[in-house]
Amino acid sequence: MSEPTLRRAVSLMSVTSLLVPLVGVIVAPILARAFDPQDRGVLAAAIAPATLMLAVATLGLPDALTFHLAKRPAAQKLLLRYATVLTIAVGLLFAIAVWLFLPFLSAGSHVLAQLILVAASITVPGLVVNIWRGAAVGLQQWNAVALERVVQAVVRLAAFGLLFVLGLLSLPVAVAINVLTPLLAGLVYVPLLLKSQRSERPSSPGEDRALVRQFVRYGSNVWLGSIASMLLARASQLLMVPLSSARDLGLFSVAITIADLPLVLTLAVQPALFGVNSRRSDPEALTQVSRLMLLLVAVGCTVVGLALPLLIGPVFGTDYVDATWPTVLLLVAALISVPGLMAGTALSAWGRPGLRSVGLAIALVLNLGVFVWSVPIVGVYGACWSGIVSNAGLSLFLTVCAARTSHVRFSDFYALRAADVVRLRDETVRVLHAVRGALPTR
């Protein structure tokens, strides 16, 4: 893995990923002003099953496309066709499953049931966008991935902002914006994927079948982890209303929006590391990135934590002041998760997605156990503690597995070195110079 390639990928993904949380920070207060905590919780519950579908119904095929196309770009047409057809079929089955479970998911609310069903139905074609993104990352098409993020951020901000100003932002409209925006942004991949690849892949049917079997096997290993990962992220939105209240879910939604801010760079770096390491592994570079991300997230969590009195009450409204301490707990959970996120990316890139899936399954069991026991007793605080416990278990398991797989030390994912601080300083100076050079001169 060449350092310039990794640097360019990480830089581009990081810069464009800043748009996602930035828009989230702007949109979250809009939603808080448009809806009280009760309705804000209804909105979160309405889109939760659709968001879960985006991970579960793709069967891990986006990651499988990234892994295989990074090594064999000429197999694009074969694997894309297979993945698209299979994803749409499974997506329809999941939409039917959501319909069957509507009475539980909606807690008996007719309005919420309708919103859930509409969101799940619209999400079925949106599943294909995940497939396209996985292919683009595998083909190292970072410009296309970055453009998708830009389009999604701009459209989401414009839609929420304009409709709020016009007084037209209702719950059904908010649900539609959330599920239609990713589908619209995904259209940027169409020109890329229509380009024909020079055929270097095996042309015999037998070799094609073997490639598809390898592809599906990899995807199935990733899929189990995708289910666990998305359940970890969405269990609160699926279960909070039945176990506690929509108000607690509204507070939790605000808290997690703020607590995710320090993770921006980590989440941005993941696809770049996965795509580049799938082509050529470099454990030393990846562990260094893990340490740098841990340092950056620690600084970010500290800054956000100190700024909470200026963020929650003044920005979101006094109705959401009770989200302050839950946000602090979720910041702790975010910091704990960083080494595990990096180690999980490493395992998938090195052809061991099954280990990542096992770690996510362990974390899910821990999360659900603490969640189901504590949320009926202490509400939103129980959801926060379940995140801390599960992230600690996940990071421990995945870093140990990655260390043994790559023959690096466990501490390489955590223990900062003087060279890391120097590297971070140099990269910061380089980025600042690049930004200064991009600004217009008088």
Per-residue pLDDT at 333: 93
* Ordered per-residue pLDDT tens for the chain, 442 residues: 445 555 566 566 666 666 776 787 788 788 888 888 788 888 888 888 887 777 677 777 887 888 778 777 777 778 888 888 888 888 888 889 888 888 887 877 888 888 998 888 888 888 888 888 888 877 878 788 888 888 988 899 999 999 999 988 888 999 999 889 988 988 888 887 776 444 444 456 666 777 778 777 777 776 777 677 767 776 777 788 788 888 888 888 888 888 887 777 666 555 555 555 555 566 777 777 778 888 888 888 998 899 988 878 887 778 888 989 999 999 999 999 888 888 887 787 777 777 888 888 899 899 999 999 999 999 899 999 999 999 999 999 998 988 888 777 878 887 777 777 777 677 666 655 554 554 445 4
User: In whole angstroms, what is the distance from residue 214 CA to residue 220 CA?
Assistant: 10
Question: Are 367 and 234 in contact, with CB atoms under 8 Å apart?
Answer: no
Per-residue pLDDT at 18: 65
Kindly state the helix (H) or strand (E) to which residue 125 belongs, with its residue range: helix 110-138
Structural domain spans, the chain = 3-438
Per-residue pLDDT at 242: 82
User: In whole angstroms, what is the distance from residue 137 CA to residue 144 CA?
Assistant: 9
Note the pTM of the prediction, 2 decimals: 0.63
Closest listed residue to residue 22, CA positions, set 268, 248, 232: 268
Report residue 291 CA to chain centroid gap.
Answer: 20
Closest listed residue to residue 343, CA positions, set 305, 394, 307: 394
Question: Are 359 and 398 in contact, with CB atoms under 8 Å apart?
Answer: yes
Which amino acid makes up residue 9? A
User: In whole angstroms, what is the distance from residue 294 CA to residue 266 CA?
Assistant: 9
- How many CB atoms are closer than 10 A to CB 408? 17
Closest listed residue to residue 181, CA positions, set 157, 147, 165, 145: 157
User: In whole angstroms, what is the distance from residue 114 CA to residue 106 CA?
Assistant: 9
